[in-house]
Structures are given as structure tokens and as C-alpha cells.
């Protein structure tokens, strides 16, 4: 088999891995509230609080394990780490599907956080096999796979959920384990032995990535914009299912369809409309501002919706809101020299992980507190109101940062080289 065919097979496998992993993740979203209520015997408001802590456990483990898996793949190769992560994820879905108590569900989410960090060696694999001029193209395929998975996963989960809250977990386990077998036969190793290095815990430190942003003061304000934006987004995956069941009595299938619709809008926006809309709006700055405005409006629509169709109307805001992250990211990259682009993306990844740690418990606590029988003010949409407030603050911070005089990328140099010495992921 020629090297070109090997590379194509490997890229296809990585594409399928991300697609199937995302489908497996999305499958469980519509049924998670029902399973938590089954295991705890509590209502939706209390179950939402448990759900928030489940998200917290998942995000914390992924935050710490992503650089660990990246470093392990530097020593042992990408192939064994990717396949082991997929195998662990498959077993974990089985454990969650069979979970007799809520404690076992927490164990399952912890393992899912560790195994779900396989994205790190997967991206490293693509970097190994892709020439520089094709890396963006191959990374784009991974982004497309993620979008497609988020469309298909919740829809499939909503349908399977009608068979019971545990059925989607078994389906997700089957998807992951089948992918292990597929990868065993089609995925060659990408990292030559002479290019490997010993594992070092000092280099597997996620905080080093985050601290690097301090060396580029120009981008600190924009990094704050993205952190607040991502923190607000956490209300969607953590409370959407609970909120729509509570307010409108949506079934598991209805929740799945709505999440699939959200994924479709985001996929169209980021995959098709990005170049067109940024051009029409005269650049990234105006696009980001418009996206933040529409995002805040969408959250308020969710919070005060009185009928189910209004939730779909609010989702339409994501045709523009989905462009916030790529637009602000592009503005930040313009302020960073080419030699530090990887460091910038690592810092943003760390901020995203932190938002995933802090956001879900906060959002589900807000929903549970203001929708329960003892709520001081009955306001089930409190989490979405909080997201609208975070997004508005993000917009104000963006306007302030945009007023600063642009600095030429080649004029910027990092204040220290310590980060390069402890950087974890390849």
C-alpha cells in the first residue's frame, strides 16, 4: 500500500473516530435526565443539579488528562493511545448503561473524561501525517466530523431513548468498540521511534499552557472575551434537556431533534457561511460583535419562551453567534507572531476546559434553585439569563479590546521562554 493510501486511510479513521465519538456523546444527552431521576428518585430540578456535577467531573478529568495522553503518545506512539482510549470509552458506556446507583454514573463520567481526551493524540496524529499545506484541510475535516456527530447523536439518542433511558448508552458502547476494531486494522503508527521522547510529568501540565497568555498582553482582553463567551455557552449542554422537559414537557425524541437542529445550524454557519458572512460584515470585528449581540438575544429568547417553537426561533441566532469563536480567534492570531500560534491555541484550549469545569455546575444550580418548590423567585430560565449577562459582559469587553491599537504580529515576542520548556501537548 502506498504512503498516500495509508495517509488517506488514517485520515478517514481519525474522521470516523471523531464522528463516532461525538455521536456516542450526543446519544446520551436526551436520556441523561431520565436516568438520573431513575437512579436518585428525585424530580427534574434536583436531577439537574446532579447533572451539573456530572459535567464537572467529566471536564476536570479531561482538563488534566488531555496533556497526559498527548505526552504518553509522544513516548509510546499515537496508535496505542488512541485505540486504548476508544476501548476505555466503550467499556465506560457499558458501565454507565448498567449503573445501579448514581455513584456509578459519576465513576462513568470520570472515566469518560479521561478516555474522551483522545482528541489530543488524534490531532497529533494528523499533524504527523499531514504536510504543512494540508494540515488546515485535515483539521477542518475533524471539525466537520464534530459538527456532524452533534447533529446525528442527539437525534439517534432521542429515538433510542423511547426504548428506555439506558438504551443509548449501550448503543454508544457498541459504536466505540466497533471503532476500536476498525482502527486496529486500518490505523498505522504515525510517530517514528527515533522521534519519540520519554514521558515527563513536568511537560504534561495544563496550567503551563494557560499561563502562557500572560506573555502576550495584547491578547489578554480577547482571551477574556472568549472565556466569558464559552462560560455562557455551558448553559446549553448542561440545562437544555432539563429545561425543555420542565417547561414544555418535551419527550426524549423532541429534545434530540432540537439538539440536532442546533448542531445543523452551527455546522452550516461554521462550515459554509463563515467566509461569506465575515466578508459581508466587513471583517472579524463586526462579525464578532454581531455574533455576541445575537447570542445574548438567543439566550433571552430561551429564558422567556412560553411555547416550544420559540426555542427553535432562539436557535436561529446561532447562524451569527456560531461565528464568535472563529472571529475572535482570528483577531487574536493576528496579534501573535507565527512562531507562537500553537502556544496561543493551547492557551485557548485551557480556557475552554476551565469554562467546562465551572459552567455546568453553576448553570444547573441556577436552574435547580429557581425552578424548585422552594425557589425565592420562580424563574426556570435563570441559567439562560445568566448566559445572556455573561455574553453582554463579553461584548463590552470586546468593544474595549477592539479600541486598543493593533500591534503588528512581527513586533511581538514572548516575554519568556519558560512555556516552551514545559509545553505538554505536541
Q: What is the pLDDT of residue 272?
A: 72
Please state which of the ranges 93-102, 159-168, 346-355, 414-423 shows the lowest mean pLDDT: 414-423
Return the residue matching grid coordinates 488528562.
65
Q: How far apart are CA 287 and CA 323, in angstroms?
A: 7
Residues 171 and 96 sit within 8 Å (Cβ to Cβ): no
CATH number for the domain whose boundaries are 202-426: 1.20.1250.20
Residues 333 and 280 sit within 8 Å (Cβ to Cβ): no
Q: Cβ contacts of residue 255 below 8 Å, gap of 6+?
A: 29, 30, 154, 158, 240, 241, 244, 245
SS3 state of residue 41: coil
What tens digit of pLDDT does each residue of 37-46 get?
Answer: 888 888 877 8
- Is the pLDDT reported for residue 136 higher than 50? no
Please state which of the ranges 85-89, 234-238, 277-281 shows the lowest mean pLDDT: 277-281
First-to-final CA distance of the chain: 28
Q: How far apart are CA 372 and CA 331, in angstroms?
A: 43
- Backbone phi and psi for residue 242, each to the nearest 5 degrees, phi listed first: -65, -45
Give me the long-range contacts of 365-370 (CB less than 8 A, separation at least 24): 365/49, 365/52, 366/239, 367/45, 367/48, 367/239, 367/242, 367/243, 368/45, 368/46, 368/48, 368/49, 368/52
User: What are the domain boundaries of the chain?
Assistant: 1-188, 202-426
Q: How far apart are CA 89 and CA 74, in angstroms?
A: 21
SS3 state of residue 99: coil
Mean pLDDT of the chain: 77
Confidence of residue 426 (pLDDT cuts 50, 70, 90): very low
Q: Residue ranges of the alpha helices (H) in 99-233?
A: 102-115, 119-129, 132-160, 167-186, 206-211, 217-233
Q: How far apart are CA 294 and CA 292, in angstroms?
A: 6
What tens digit of pLDDT does each residue of 269-307 get?
Answer: 766 777 677 778 877 888 899 999 999 999 999 999 999
Q: How many residues does the chain have?
A: 426
Q: How far apart are CA 254 and CA 367, in angstroms?
A: 20
Q: What is the largest CA-CA distance in the chain?
A: 68
- Backbone phi and psi for residue 372, each to the nearest 5 degrees, phi listed first: -80, 170
- Is the pLDDT reported for residue 409 higher than 50? no
- Is the pLDDT reported for residue 199 higher than 80? no
Task: Tell me whether domains 1-188 and 202-426 share a fold.
Answer: yes
Q: Calculate mean pLDDT across residues 176-203.
A: 75
Which grid cell sits at 337? Answer: 507572531
- Is the pLDDT reported for residue 183 higher than 50? yes
Q: pTM to 2 decimals?
A: 0.67
Residues 164 and 98 sit within 8 Å (Cβ to Cβ): no
- Is the pLDDT reported for residue 94 higher than 60? yes
Residue 158: CA count within 13 A, CB half-sphere? 20
What class is the 1-188 domain? mainly alpha
- Is the pLDDT reported for residue 144 higher than 70? no
What tens digit of pLDDT does each residue of 244-266 get?
Answer: 999 999 987 888 788 878 878 87
Amino acid at each position: 500500500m502506498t504512503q498516500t493510501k495509508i495517509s488517506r486511510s488514517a485520515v478517514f479513521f481519525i474522521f470516523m473516530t471523531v464522528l463516532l465519538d461525538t455521536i456516542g456523546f450526543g446519544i446520551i444527552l436526551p436520556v441523561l435526565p431520565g436516568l438520573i431521576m431513575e437512579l436518585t428518585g428525585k424530580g427534574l430540578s434536583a436531577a439537574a443539579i446532579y447533572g451539573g456535577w456530572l459535567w464537572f467531573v467529566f471536564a476536570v478529568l479531561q482538563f488534566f488528562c488531555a496533556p497526559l495522553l498527548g505526552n504518553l503518545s509522544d513516548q509510546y506512539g499515537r496508535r496505542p493511545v488512541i485505540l486504548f482510549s476508544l476501548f476505555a470509552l466503550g467499556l465506560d458506556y457499558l458501565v454507565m448503561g448498567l449503573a445501579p446507583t448514581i455513584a456509578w454514573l459519576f465513576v462513568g463520567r470520570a472515566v469518560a473524561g479521561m478516555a474522551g481526551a483522545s482528541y489530543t493524540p488524534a490531532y497529533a496524529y494528523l499533524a504527523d501525517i499531514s504536510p504543512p499545506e494540508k494540515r488546515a484541510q485535515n483539521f477542518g475535516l475533524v471539525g466537520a466530523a464534530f459538527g456532524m456527530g452533534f447533529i446525528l447523536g442527539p437525534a439517534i439518542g432521542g429515538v433510542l431513548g423511547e426504548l428506555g433511558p439506558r438504551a443509548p448508552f449501550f448503543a454508544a458502547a457498541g459504536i466505540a468498540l466497533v471503532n476500536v476494531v476498525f482502527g486496529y486494522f486500518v490505523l498505522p503508527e504515525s510517530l517514528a521511534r527515533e522521534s519519540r521522547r520519554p514521558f515527563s510529568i513536568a511537560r504534561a501540565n495544563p496550567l503551563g499552557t494557560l499561563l502562557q497568555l500572560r506573555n502576550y498582553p495584547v491578547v489578554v482582553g480577547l482571551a477574556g472575551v472568549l472565556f466569558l463567551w464559552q462560560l455562557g455557552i455551558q448553559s446549553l449542554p448542561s440545562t437544555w434537556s432539563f429545561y425543555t422537559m420542565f417547561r414544555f414537557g418535551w419527550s426524549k425524541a423532541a429534545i434530540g431533534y432540537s439538539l440536532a437542529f442546533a448542531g445543523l445550524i452551527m455546522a452550516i454557519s461554521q462550515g459554509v457561511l463563515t467566509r461569506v458572512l465575515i466578508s459581508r460584515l466587513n471583517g472579524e470585528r463586526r462579525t464578532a460583535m454581531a455574533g455576541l449581540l445575537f447570542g445574548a438575544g438567543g439566550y433571552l429568547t430561551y429564558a422567556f419562551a412560553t411555547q416550544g417553537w420559540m426555542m427553535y426561533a432562539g436557535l436561529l441566532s446561532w447562524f451569527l453567534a456560531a461565528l464568535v469563536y472563529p472571529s475572535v480567534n482570528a483577531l487574536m492570531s493576528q496579534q501573535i507572531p507565527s512562531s507562537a500560534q500553537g502556544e496561543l491555541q493551547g492557551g485557548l484550549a485551557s480556557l475552554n476546559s476551565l469554562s467546562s469545569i465551572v459552567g455546568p455546575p453553576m448553570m444547573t444550580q441556577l436552574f435547580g434553585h429557581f425552578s424548585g418548590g422552594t425557589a425565592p423567585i420562580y424563574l426556570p430560565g435563570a441559567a439562560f439569563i445568566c448566559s445572556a449577562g455573561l455574553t453582554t459582559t463579553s461584548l463590552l469587553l470586546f468593544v474595549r479590546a477592539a479600541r486598543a491599537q493593533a500591534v503588528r504580529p512581527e513586533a511581538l515576542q514572548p516575554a519568556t521562554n519558560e512555556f516552551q520548556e514545559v509545553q505538554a501537548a505536541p
